[in-house]
């Protein structure tokens, strides 16, 4: 039992403390009420309604087409399933890029309508002025650097980042920290670079494909539980094989219905 596992409701104040106390932060994505309840009951500290919902929930090729309406819809459902976990909403591509004013309007709408306690935005030092504006307006912000899926077209695809050195990432992390982010996602980053970034800042880093030197870890719900196998990145560790189980269960159901084994008297209303 860790110290923080006894806390009734995780708030933004817990994460910096967890870093100071060397306690790893556990995070997963969720997109609906039932999944949220499962993660909350398990004790996951931070739940992100990622724009990855476009891929695993809607079958889009990438996260670019995801809209603010979609993310708000899923976040509202997740919110209803959480009692203890901290809830973060991932701002989709195009909702914080046009101007700081529009970004602020969209983030305020996201927080007000969804019930999320923070937003996540992708980008390095160039996003620091926006982060400052959001934080000054009362919005908690989680940063995201390294592989940024919303920039795959300019990055030239889903490529591991950081092979070219560590300085740029440390500068980005420090600028975002200075602007007021409460935590920073490091995605698809060479492990030793992620470790150096983690050591360079006081706010916690949350890794996904960024090695064990980060202060916490996050994975996509469907990857962790083996629900999605269109592609499985190297960094994904599966803790269940739910798709195989569900296909098997569906086949058992088909067999039972076809052979009139189901419904039996136990599952019928009798006189």
Q: How far is the CB of 269 from ligand KIV (least distance, A)?
A: 44
Q: Is 45 in the site for ligand KIV (CB under 6 A)?
A: no
Question: CB of 87 within 8 A of CB of 79?
Answer: yes
Query: Rule CB under 6 A: which of 11-40 touch ligand KIV?
Result: 29
218 - beta bridge partners? 27
Q: How far is the CB of 213 from ligand KIV (least distance, A)?
A: 17
Q: Is 51 in the site for ligand KIV (CB under 6 A)?
A: yes
Q: Is 110 in the site for ligand KIV (CB under 6 A)?
A: no
How do beta strands 46-49 and 25-29 pair? parallel
Radius of gyration of the chain (CA): 20
Instruction: For residue 58, give Cα distances in angstroms to 61, 62, 116.
Output: 9, 10, 21
Q: Is 185 in the site for ligand KIV (CB under 6 A)?
A: yes
Q: How many whole angstroms separate alpha carbon 25 and alpha carbon 166? A: 23
Q: Is 106 in the site for ligand KIV (CB under 6 A)?
A: no
Q: How many whole angstroms separate alpha carbon 204 and alpha carbon 22? A: 10
Q: Is 141 in the site for ligand KIV (CB under 6 A)?
A: no
Q: How many whole angstroms separate alpha carbon 254 and alpha carbon 241? A: 20
Q: Is 52 in the site for ligand KIV (CB under 6 A)?
A: yes
Contact segment (CB under 6 A) with ligand KIV among 49-57, 156-164, 195-203, 229-237 equals 49-57
Q: How many whole angstroms separate alpha carbon 202 and alpha carbon 54? A: 32
The binder of ligand KIV chosen from 30, 107, 220, 227 (CB under 6 A): 220
Q: Is 218 in the site for ligand KIV (CB under 6 A)?
A: yes
The binder of ligand KIV chosen from 18, 50, 203, 216 (CB under 6 A): 50
Nearer Cβ to ligand KIV, position 23 or 51? 51
Q: How far is the CB of 90 from ligand KIV (least distance, A)?
A: 5
What the block records as the tokens of 212 is 């064990």
Nearer Cβ to ligand KIV, position 73 or 262? 73
Contact segment (CB under 6 A) with ligand KIV among 45-53, 171-179, 244-252, 263-271 equals 45-53
Nearer Cβ to ligand KIV, position 141 or 185? 185
Q: How far is the CB of 162 from ligand KIV (least distance, A)?
A: 16
Question: CB of 21 within 8 A of CB of 204?
Answer: no
Query: Rule CB under 6 A: which of 75-94 touch ligand KIV?
Result: 90
Q: How far is the CB of 186 from ligand KIV (least distance, A)?
A: 9
**Is residue 11 classed exposed, middle or buried when 0-12, 13-18 and 19+ CB atoms within 10 A define those classes?**
exposed
What the block records as the tokens of 181 is 């982010």
Q: DSSP for 136-195, please give it.
A: HTT--EEEEEES-GGGHHHHTSS--B-TT-SHHHHHHHHHHHHHT-SEEEEESB-HHHHH
Active-site residue among 45, 117, 122, 187? 187
Q: Is 187 a catalytic residue?
A: yes
Question: CB of 81 within 8 A of CB of 33?
Answer: yes
Residues in the site for ligand KIV, rule: CB under 6 A? 29, 48, 50-52, 90, 185, 187, 208, 218, 220
Which positions are annotated as active-site residues? 187
């Amino acid at each position: 039992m860790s110290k923080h596992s006894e806390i009734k409701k995780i708030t933004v104040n817990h994460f910096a403390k967890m870093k100071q106390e060397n306690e790893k932060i556990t995070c997963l994505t969720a997109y609906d009420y039932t999944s949220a309840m499962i993660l909350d009951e398990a004790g996951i500290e931070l739940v992100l309604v990622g724009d990855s919902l476009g891929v695993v929930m809607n079958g889009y090729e990438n996260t670019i087409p995801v809209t603010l309406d979609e993310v708000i819809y899923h976040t509202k459902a997740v919110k209803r399933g959480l009692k203890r976990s901290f809830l973060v909403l991932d701002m989709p591509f195009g909702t914080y890029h046009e101007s700081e004013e529009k970004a602020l309007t969209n983030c305020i709408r996201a927080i007000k309508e969804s019930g999320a306690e923070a937003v996540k935005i992708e980008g390095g030092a160039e996003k620091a002025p926006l982060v400052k504006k959001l934080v000054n307006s009362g919005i908690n912000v989680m940063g995201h650097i390294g592989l940024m899926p919303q920039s795959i077209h300019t990055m030239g695809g889903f490529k591991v980042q950081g092979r070219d050195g560590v300085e740029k990432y440390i500068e980005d992390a420090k600028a975002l920290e200075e602007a007021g982010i409460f935590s920073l996602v490091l995605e698809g980053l060479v492990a030793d670079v992620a470790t150096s970034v983690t050591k360079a800042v006081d706010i916690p880093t949350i890794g996904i494909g960024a090695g064990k030197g980060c202060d916490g870890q996050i994975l996509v719900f469907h990857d962790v539980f083996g629900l999605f196998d269109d592609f499985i990145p190297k960094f994904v560790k599966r803790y269940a094989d739910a798709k195989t189980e569900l296909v098997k269960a569906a086949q058992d159901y088909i067999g039972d219905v076809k052979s009139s084994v189901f419904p039996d008297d136990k599952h019928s209303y009798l006189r």
